[in-house]
Structure 1
Amino acid sequence: MQAGLSAGEASARLAADGPNTLPGSGAKPMSRIVLDILREPMFAMLLAAGGIYLLLGDPGEALFLLVAVVAVSALAVVQERRTQRALEALRDLSAPRALVVRGGVQVRIPSRDVVRGDLLVLREGDRIAADGVLVDGQLACDESLLTGESVPREKLPAGVERSAAPAGEEAGADILACTLVARGTGLALVSSTGPRTRVGRIGASMAAAPVHLSPLQAASRRTVRAFAAGGLALAVLLFLLAWQWDGRGLLESLLLGIAFAMAILPEEIPLVLTVFLAMGAWRLSRRRVLTRSLTAIEALGGITVLAVDKTGTLTQNRMEVRELRSAAGDRFVQRRGAVLDDGFHALAEFAQLATPEDPFDPMERAIRAFVGAHLAGTEHVHPGREVARRYALSARLFAMTQAFVLQGDEHLLAAKGAPEAIADLCHLPAERLARIRADVEEMASRGLRVIAVARGRWSGPAWPDGQHAFDYEFLGLVGLMDPPRPEVPAAIAACRGAGVRVVMMTGDHPATARAVARDIGLADAQVLHGAEIDALDDAELCRRMETVDLCARLVPEQKLRLVRALQARGAKVGMTGDGVNDGPALGAADVGIAMGGRGTDVAREAADIVLLDDSFASIVEAIRQGREIDDKLRAALRFIFAVHVPIVALALGPILLHWPVILMPAQIVLFELLIDPLCAILFDADPPAPDLMARGPGGAAMFSGTLVAGGWLQGGGLAAVALAAAALASRLGWTAQEVRTCAFAVLVVGVYLLALHQRRPAARGAGANPWAPHFALGIAAVLGLLLAVAPLRAVAGFAAPTWPMAAVAAAGGAATFLWLRLFSLLWRLHAARDRARV
């Protein structure tokens, strides 16, 4: 292999040419963040209120609102940057990676670090990182992204005979960035990177695909718009009531209308969704689970079926040849120091000849390692031998053949594949077939993956369309072992405890699959064969998949039908895949899960989730995280719906009851400065509930009537307490400032209690939230400053605190606490009655 660039040469060229990235959407600039904030309705309302205060001759209040505008904007910028940093970190993790030769060693690097002169190692399923020229190997590249042609184009090194190209089409040596390797392997010399590539010159953007609104995001947008429209209408009505019915001045009535609109608008919802999903994705990445699409986070917790590929996910993906059986029935078992007898040399030789030179599949790698260990230096090893023709495995024939030139038009054939397929190609008599079938069943029952090997010859100027045209000689069987991962049985049990059904999918023989299923805890799995799937119509397949837990002898194209069959019965499907042909099924699944270590670029780009360690236990952890995020989102949304009720009540109540104004824009801004961090930080830091996985998947829609009603009822209790405190203060003859101060203090304490109350009863003993005491101290400090510092107290419209005011505020906090406890009791009783009816 060529040595490639040294590390120093690569660094110098990267510095000179810049990173290998295409024009696309990078991080949002600060100016864009600020502009988006300025467009927010809350910002416009604050400016309008400040202008009205200036017209009323109250510059102190106007200045306070201006400072509040800066504070609210700064908080929004901090949250936006926090979210963006998480997304940027995820983007760095999800960036395509390339395998290059540096200093004679193959290393995998981010595609952005590929430079001119690098040697790219290309394999089936890779997305090509840069433009270049093929210098070794043979590829077929899908260039439909650039040319619109669906047929892959053959690529051969310059100077190589072009006879392998399809009729009427000349094979080329140029490879293009952003195209896919459909088949083959090769080595390419990079000629241009980044904006200098073909796709860069035509201005294509291969940045992250545009994010489409998920059902949750769409529902949140509808909710916010509905509240905004309703709030605007009610604000206009409140303005008219204050002006015409309550006899207040025009400008004061406008301020009340603006305050009411600010109180009812739940602008925190989009913020909460973005922050929770982004931070959840970041936490998953720290557990070696990469989320390529934030919208997949919400689907993780609702998965009811996991369709899992066996090799590499349930097993260790470290195939080893354990046993050979010759056509004569002789048996060789791989042990330390074992010597391969002459009777097995042809079987091992043709197993290797039927395997690509630089294979991707772990089984094929194991075959090459076995032959290298036992036949190195003999005439049975043929390094660098050129393949003249290749017949790939297909759904109709689970076998593949590679042909090599002997002399003239005479060719040597090497075939391997499923034993039944190879036996069929060899046209064996029934007695011989029965003996082979018995050997296969016996080997597979011990957990071995069994393939058969055959050889043949072909002479002729034209190649036949299929492998059945050849005459083969059956050479024997190869048994390989891929032991289960040690953590899988516990993970399977965790899935069952969480209400998630596991369906194992594999191309292995059914007996091999059953042996692995027994080892991982799927002992009673019902089996469905790939051939049976083809024979079933969609309705019957849906019915069978209600009970089937093991699908064997599959080809990737059949996975799409299985995913759709499961979904047709109402299942939320998470599916794993790693191959080029897994792309459609990964895209069709509710959550597509690709293998980051052994998976192809095609699979990774089609998937929503990428497992960086290829571990099944990581999928279980991803489901746990998805449910945790779902739980926290529900708590935050209940709080948002609850907290706006008392704010609306204190803005509307004084108008209807002819009281002095309690909440004006300044006070509502103070609440916004309290609510946003509570939503975005306190709930995100909440520890998960201990019973998270025991509840079962999914649940009611996020913006369900139950969630909204529960929030409103909790908030309604706080609203009643705050209005009662204001009524008591008025009856005691306190001034308007004292009434406002008392009601505001009750509201602040109640809002904090509301936030703490949103945790499920089962979660409250799960561990302390590290932010809870900090928020309590911060709220107390801010409230103390507002009441203790005379200039701040005057601007906010508060009175100096007194012991009677503190007593009323404390009583209001105690009443709120008791109401929330009573609410929890009544809510649980109501839920229990509903379950009893069911």
Structure 2
Amino acid sequence: MMGIHATSPHPDDTVGLSDAEARERLRRDGPNVLIASEGFRSLRVLRELLREPMLLMLIAAAAIYGAIGSAAEAFFLAASVLIVVGITFAQEFRAEGALAALRELAAPTAHVIREGVEREIPASAVVLGDVVLLREGDKVPADGTLVAGTILLDESLLTGESVAVQRSAGDAQDHAVHAATLVVGGNGRMQVTAIGARTAVGQIGGALAGALASPSALQKAAARIVRLFAVLALALALAVAWGSWWWAGSSPLNAALAGIALAMAVLPEEVPVILAVFYALGARRIAQHGVLTRRLAAVEAMGTISLLAVDKTGTLTQNQMEVASVTDAAGVPRDLAGPLDDADVALLGAASDACQAHSLDPTDRAIVAYATHRLGHTEPAEPLAACVWETPVSEGRPFVSRLLTKGSADWVLATKGAPEAILALCDVDDDTRSRLRARAVAFAQQGMRVLAVAVAHGTGMPPTRDGAGVHQRFLGLVALADPLREEVPAAIGICREAGIRVVMLTGDHPATASSIGAQAGLRVENVLTGAELDGMSEPELARRLVDVDVYARVQPTQKLRLVKAFRRAGYVVGMTGDGVNDAPALRSADVGVAMGARGSDVARDSADLVLLDDRFSSLVTGIRLGRRVYDNVKRSMRFVSAVHVPIVCLAIVPVILRWPPVLLPVQIALLEMIIDPACSIVFEAMPERPDVMRHAPRRPNESPFAGRNIGIGIAQGAGAGAILTLAHLLSLHLGSSYEAASLATFLGLLGAALMLAFAGRGSPRVQATPWLMGLGALVLAVGLATSYLPWLRGILHFAPPTAMTLATLAGSLLTLWAWLAGVALLERRLRFARHPASVDALRASPHHAPTREIPP
């Protein structure tokens, strides 16, 4: 037996820096960041504000009021400008703060040796002279030289070359490694020679960390809509200004004010703010439940997922591997607590030697821990063996081999992996082979992961990496147990109710996969293996997808094929992965989900989401919260479309009927102080519907700007506009002054905004939040202030309230309540008429038709 840990340390890199040295170098050289964070930039926000049409119109209106001698109105609008600026800063601060928190969670880490101990630290804390451990799947955190081991690097970010290159310690030509490159094979140690902007990638300005802030497809569509409405608002404003002057006989400045009022009423300037704030805060809320959103577009996509393809180990199971049974070369179980004979020592030593040193893999850790305990060793100060090369699991090669040397001549080749593959490498008689296979199947049927172990010894020239001509001796089986997470069956039940199919893709034995799948609540009548998958045509595979939920002995390239097949079948696929080879499948899935606790940097870089705790239930919670975010965006868009319609009506109708203006820019500016927080604060905090996870996923092409959603909002707003216009006309007809009628109409608009916000909940079962109640208090305060503060009434051109004012207001709001109730009833009936068949039948079965075919 060689050593339990089999990587020989470089004589100068076993201890690393001291904590004091690291702190001093961090203070002296600064953090290891490629590009300094810009943070919250006030000048940027101000520059963007000056491009906003609403702000420009407020400034123009204030200038016109000043020109006609209305100093109070001009001052009020100037104050409104400051309030708009303040609200925008607050919203930007919330969004920027949320994104900063997400970036902090997403920040890469590095494994360094400090004072002789391995530590995981933020990559930004790596300093010059640090000794960094590099393993398969890691992103190199800084420039340096390789001082131990051999690794394969993907340097495409620097060189554009997609073929991985090899770097070996001690090779003067090929020992340099660079920041932002990816370790795709092997392991080693590097000593840091350059950090931050002084690295090669830092000098060429590469590797940005702005994926979170890049606009989603919906945000781009919203920007186009706002630009379209800005053009429409300008055209209507010019038409109304001309009509007020030519048709209604207003003075040019008053006509300009009427045009500005209409443009302010038409512009849906809240839309970009809604999306920016909702998705940033929604992503932060999802992160608080263990799911990091690396790209904001994933928040949109989460609500469309109709199939989850998940790994078994660590996602459905607890990822707490323990050796549960050991079998000798004849297939006879050994006593885990009994005395060891020479065969036991050889088996445990070879199994440990086949594990990577400092491995993060739970299987390797469990084997090394058990071998250390049973053999009575602690990790030696000078490891007994040096690793010359290792061949990891790859396509068609379900086992790991590591060649170790001791001294100058002796070598050992230790191999562990799938029993059928290891048995094929060894000379075992047929009876023993059958007995071992039966024993492996029995362990697998109990949900255990089974590994076979083999070894070869030699002296002199060690074998090459392909192991050609080496005869290996079979040593036995090691079975490891990894219990199912307790919450998984309930989480899969929630997915079934939500119209989301769950399938398991694993490299384990079919019997192991079937056992865990049955415990989780998946269908296990049919299990498809990777070998069977290779023999299938695409049409045959499409037929088998219908009734298979468990896929065993699946290789990474086969995962990619399955993801593509599921997508061709019409599913929106969310897939979990952790390894370097999972990256293509993660990119191909509609939503790629990387493991945060055990996943590689390559997998995380390829994914849209990262499970910080690797728990399947966290992913299900993330989907629920993602659906909530989209629902709230949809509610808010309906509110925006509804609340602007009555304002537009009351801006246009007076021009047509040659009335004096009902709404003035100062009044609309005050209304915006109600509408803006309702959109970006009240609706963002709206809780989910009780049935949010009891309906099929929405279609991928569904949009909150869809005609049905916006149409309902317009219907609500059109009713409010007609009611308030008729109430205004009736109030004038019954003898109210223009100023008194205008007060009743303005108060009616305030009440309508509040009622539309309450109607936006969508269901009485959705509780009124403190923010919604706060909006009610704000509306009441503004209404009382405009009615009973003489100086404010003067600015807004209102008369003191009368009994007629209150009666008109009460009648308007009661009629509006009836109208909104009627629209809600009609909406429910239309929904039932369009989709009379419930999705309950779909939920009742673990498999259902793809949701691209299912109405939302």
TM-score by length of 2: 0.92
Partner of 1:342 in structure 2?
342
- Measure, in 2, the Cα distance between the counterparts of 1:338 and 1:757: 71
Structure 1: gaps (5+ residues): 163-169
Partner of 1:22 in structure 2?
34
Partner of 1:450 in structure 2?
450
Deviation at 1:77, TM superposition (A): 1.1
Deviation at 1:396, TM superposition (A): 1.7
Deviation at 1:723, TM superposition (A): 0.4
Partner of 2:332 in structure 1?
330
Deviation at 1:205, TM superposition (A): 4.2
Alignment of 1:423-438 (within 5 A): 423-426=423-426, 428=428, 430-438=430-438
Deviation at 1:385, TM superposition (A): 1.2
Matched, 1:248 2:250: yes
Contact 2:524 2:548 in 1 (8 A): no
- Measure, in 2, the Cα distance between the counterparts of 1:491 and 1:427: 46
Partner of 1:530 in structure 2?
530
Return the letter of the residue paired with 2:762. Answer: R
Distance 1:683 1:209, change over 3 A: closer
Alignment of 1:438-477 (within 5 A): 438-456=438-456, 466-467=466-467, 469-477=469-477
**Deviation by residue 1:592-645 (Cα, 9 ceiling, x = unmatched):** 111111111111111111111111110111011011111111111110111111
Return the letter of the residue paired with 2:135. Answer: R
Partner of 1:195 in structure 2?
197
Which residue of the other structure, out of 214, 217, 231, is the alignment partner of 1:215?
Answer: 217
Contact 1:444 1:509 in 2 (8 A): yes
Contact 2:449 2:479 in 1 (8 A): yes
Deviation at 1:280, TM superposition (A): 0.8
Distance 1:539 1:222, change over 3 A: farther
Identity %: 44
Alignment of 1:643-662 (within 5 A): 643-662=643-662
Partner of 1:167 in structure 2?
none
- Measure, in 2, the Cα distance between the counterparts of 1:435 and 1:378: 35
Q: Matched residue of 2:210: which SS?
A: coil
Distance 1:448 1:579, change over 3 A: same
Partner of 2:486 in structure 1?
486
Alignment of 1:30-429 (within 5 A): 30-157=42-169, 160=170, 162=171, 172-209=174-211, 211-334=213-336, 337-377=337-377, 383-405=383-405, 411-426=411-426, 428=428
Contact 2:385 2:406 in 1 (8 A): no
Partner of 1:166 in structure 2?
none
Deviation at 1:483, TM superposition (A): 1.1
**After the TM superposition, which of the residue ranges 372-381 and 209-218 deviates more from structure 2?**
372-381
Contact 2:736 2:804 in 1 (8 A): no
Contact 1:185 1:358 in 2 (8 A): no
Partner of 1:772 in structure 2?
772
**Deviation by residue 1:153-184 (Cα, 9 ceiling, x = unmatched):** 33333xx4x4xxxxxxx653333222222222
Contact 2:385 2:405 in 1 (8 A): no
Contact 1:685 1:770 in 2 (8 A): no
Return the letter of the residue paired with 2:267. Answer: L
- Measure, in 1, the Cα distance between the counterparts of 2:705 and 2:245: 36
- Measure, in 2, the Cα distance between the counterparts of 1:728 and 1:101: 82
- Measure, in 1, the Cα distance between the counterparts of 2:410 and 2:349: 19
**Deviation by residue 1:84-111 (Cα, 9 ceiling, x = unmatched):** 1111111111111112233333222211
Matched, 1:826 2:826: yes
Matched, 1:759 2:761: yes
Return the letter of the residue paired with 2:206. Answer: A
- Measure, in 1, the Cα distance between the counterparts of 2:496 and 2:431: 44
Partner of 2:600 in structure 1?
600
Return the letter of the residue paired with 2:311. Answer: D
- Measure, in 1, the Cα distance between the counterparts of 2:358 and 2:830: 64
Return the letter of the residue paired with 1:13. Answer: R
Distance 1:432 1:714, change over 3 A: same
Partner of 2:841 in structure 1?
none
Q: Matched residue of 2:799: which SS?
A: coil
Partner of 1:165 in structure 2?
none
Return the letter of the residue paired with 2:77. Answer: L
Deviation at 1:830, TM superposition (A): 2.1
Deviation at 1:768, TM superposition (A): 3.5
TM-score by length of 1: 0.93
Return the letter of the residue paired with 1:602. Answer: V
- Measure, in 1, the Cα distance between the counterparts of 2:102 and 2:377: 48
Q: Matched residue of 2:76: which SS?
A: helix
Distance 1:524 1:378, change over 3 A: closer
Return the letter of the residue paired with 2:63. Answer: G
Deviation at 1:333, TM superposition (A): 4.6
Q: Matched residue of 1:310: which SS?
A: coil
Q: Matched residue of 1:454: which SS?
A: strand
Contact 1:116 1:192 in 2 (8 A): yes
Deviation at 1:24, TM superposition (A): 5.1
Contact 1:506 1:552 in 2 (8 A): yes
Between 1 and 2, higher relative CO (CA 8 Å, sep ≥ 6) is seen in: 2
Distance 1:837 1:98, change over 3 A: closer
Deviation at 1:429, TM superposition (A): 5.6
Deviation at 1:351, TM superposition (A): 1.8
- Measure, in 1, the Cα distance between the counterparts of 2:457 and 2:183: 30
Return the letter of the residue paired with 2:317. Answer: T
Contact 1:639 1:758 in 2 (8 A): yes
Deviation at 1:473, TM superposition (A): 2.6
Give the paired residue count. Answer: 824
Contact 2:248 2:655 in 1 (8 A): yes
Return the letter of the residue paired with 1:233. Answer: A
Distance 1:345 1:549, change over 3 A: same
Which residue of the other structure, out of 748, 751, 769, is the alignment partner of 1:749?
Answer: 751
Deviation at 1:384, TM superposition (A): 4.2
Contact 1:306 1:503 in 2 (8 A): yes
Structure 2: gaps (5+ residues): 1-12, 839-856
- Measure, in 2, the Cα distance between the counterparts of 1:612 and 1:210: 16
Matched, 1:9 2:39: no
Deviation at 1:215, TM superposition (A): 3.0
Return the letter of the residue paired with 1:21. Answer: V
Deviation at 1:237, TM superposition (A): 2.6
Q: Matched residue of 2:112: which SS?
A: strand
**Deviation by residue 1:697-733 (Cα, 9 ceiling, x = unmatched):** 2254322111011000011111111101111111022
Q: Matched residue of 1:240: which SS?
A: helix
Distance 1:43 1:536, change over 3 A: same
**After the TM superposition, which of the residue ranges 752-761 and 488-497 deviates more from structure 2?**
488-497
Return the letter of the residue paired with 2:266. Answer: I
**After the TM superposition, which of the residue ranges 656-665 and 125-134 deviates more from structure 2?**
125-134
Q: Matched residue of 2:765: which SS?
A: coil
Contact 2:545 2:566 in 1 (8 A): yes
Q: Matched residue of 1:695: which SS?
A: coil
Which residue of the other structure, out of 679, 704, 726, is the alignment partner of 1:724?
Answer: 726
Distance 1:301 1:152, change over 3 A: same
- Measure, in 2, the Cα distance between the counterparts of 1:32 and 1:724: 45
CA RMSD in angstroms, aligned pairs only: 2.5
- Measure, in 2, the Cα distance between the counterparts of 1:754 and 1:384: 75
Q: Matched residue of 1:471: which SS?
A: coil
Deviation at 1:53, TM superposition (A): 2.4
Return the letter of the residue paired with 1:609. Answer: L
Distance 1:374 1:33, change over 3 A: same
